[in-house]
């Protein structure tokens, strides 16, 4: 596979979509990002990385971080009650409602539908805080190691902006706490959640860091982070729940496990082959990058690679 040639053709196809959609404006620090940006990277399972456009420009990972927090919780719970425990506290089903919805929590006794909506991610962050004592820093250290980029950092402005406009996330957390579904104080859980979302990474960083999902749980250094069945399960939940309440449409178009973020990034996995990351800040009504989805759709069309 000539990845570079494929990426260049994908970028050309995606270019007309780049200014479509709206940059996230409910987090003021994200609203200032130029809508003209587009980058895409591919990291194969052997460590080779290819990119096009703004593929080395850092951006706010936002909800893409939820994939890594779930992986870290599962990795620290091998063979223990902890692995099973997280699935007693959060489900694995598509939500069918917006990522920050309160509606289902009351009807379902404070148990979020899946770990990739905000309520579910708060539960996973809470569990990671219990396991590590510092959920956000643990994630940052892992991402630095796995991406090979020691300069990855939190974006203070984004974290502050999220905290200033985080009333709905606070409501979700307090509501779940009222059902006994948080182990740590609500302010601590929310703080670590915001810090995780504020991490800045490039397409290159994210594609490399997510490689363990394409390598069936093996880290870049060959050590095992997850059992193969655990990596399979994370990929499965990404496929069914990773693009908010548009997961069915995304699976129909792209056919890959993926996780999007309102910073405009999408990470996608082709098990046994490679991991991809695309970034373009213009979002559709459901919070997914318009150009990013178009690029991944064209990539799987050109290559014939998908999980189907």
H helical segments located in 15-57: 28-31
Mean pLDDT over the full length of the chain: 94
Return the active site residues: 63, 66, 193, 244, 262
Angle, helices 135-147 vs 65-75, to 10°: value is 100
Q: What is the pLDDT of residue 155?
A: 96
Q: Which DSSP string corresponds to 42-97?
A: EEETTS-EEEEESTTS-EE-GGGHHHHHHHHHHHTTTTSHHHHHHHHHS--S---S
Q: Is the pLDDT of residue 82 over 50?
A: no
User: Which domains are seen in the chain, by residue range?
Assistant: 3-62+202-303 (3.40.710.10), 64-197 (3.40.710.10)
Q: Is the pLDDT of residue 288 over 60?
A: yes
Q: Is the pLDDT of residue 96 over 90?
A: no
Token representation of residue 19: 């200014």
Q: Is the pLDDT of residue 78 over 80?
A: no
User: Using one digit for the tens of pLDDT, what is the confidence trace for 44-58?
Assistant: 999 999 999 999 999
Q: Which DSSP string corresponds to 164-210?
A: HT-HHHHHHHHHHHHTT--SS-HHHHHHHHHHHHTEEE-HHHHHHHT
Token representation of residue 8: 């260049």
pLDDT: is 199 or 106 the higher one?
A: 199
155 neighbors 199 (Cβ within 8 angstroms): yes
State residue 166 phi and psi, 5-degree precision.
-105, 30
Supply the pTM of this predicted model. 0.96
Distance CA 261, CA 242 (A): 9
Least confident stretch, 21-25, 97-101, 218-222: 97-101
C-beta neighbour count of 110 within 10 angstroms: 19
Under DSSP, the state recorded for 127 is H
User: Using one digit for the tens of pLDDT, what is the confidence trace for 113-125?
Assistant: 999 999 999 999 9
User: Using one digit for the tens of pLDDT, what is the confidence trace for 224-241?
Assistant: 999 999 999 999 999 999
């Amino acid at each position: 596979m000539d990845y570079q040639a494929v990426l260049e053709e994908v970028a050309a196809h995606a270019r007309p979509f780049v200014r479509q959609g709206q940059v996230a404006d409910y987090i003021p620090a994200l609203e200032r990002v130029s809508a003209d940006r587009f980058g895409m990277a591919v990291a194969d399972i052997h460590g080779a990385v290819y990119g096009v456009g703004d593929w080395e420009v850092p951006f706010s990972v936002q909800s893409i971080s939820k994939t890594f927090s779930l992986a870290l919780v599962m990795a620290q719970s091998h063979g223990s009650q902890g692995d099973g425990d997280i699935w007693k506290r959060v489900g694995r089903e598509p939500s069918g409602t917006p990522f920050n919805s309160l509606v289902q929590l009351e009807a379902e006794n404070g148990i979020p539908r899946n770990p990739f909506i905000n309520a579910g991610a708060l539960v996973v962050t809470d569990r990671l805080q219990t396991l590590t004592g510092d959920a956000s820093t643990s994630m940052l250290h892992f991402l630095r190691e796995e991406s090979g980029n020691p300069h990855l950092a939190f974006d203070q402005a984004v974290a502050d902006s999220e905290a200033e406009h985080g009333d709905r996330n606070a409501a979700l957390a307090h509501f779940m706490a009222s059902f006994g579904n948080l182990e740590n104080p609500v302010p601590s859980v929310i703080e670590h959640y915001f810090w995780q979302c504020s991490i800045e990474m490039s397409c290159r960083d994210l594609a490399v860091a997510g490689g363990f999902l394409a390598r069936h749980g093996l880290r870049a250094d060959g050590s095992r982070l997850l059992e193969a069945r655990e990596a399979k399960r994370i990929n499965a939940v990404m496929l069914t729940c990773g693009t908010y309440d548009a997961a069915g449409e995304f699976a129909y178009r792209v056919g890959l496990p993926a996780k999007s973020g309102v910073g405009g990034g999408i990470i996608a996995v082709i098990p046994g082959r490679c991991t991809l990351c695309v970034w373009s800040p213009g979002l559709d009504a459901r919070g997914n990058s318009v150009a990013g989805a178009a690029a991944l759709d064209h990539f799987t069309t050109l290559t014939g690679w998908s999980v189907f």
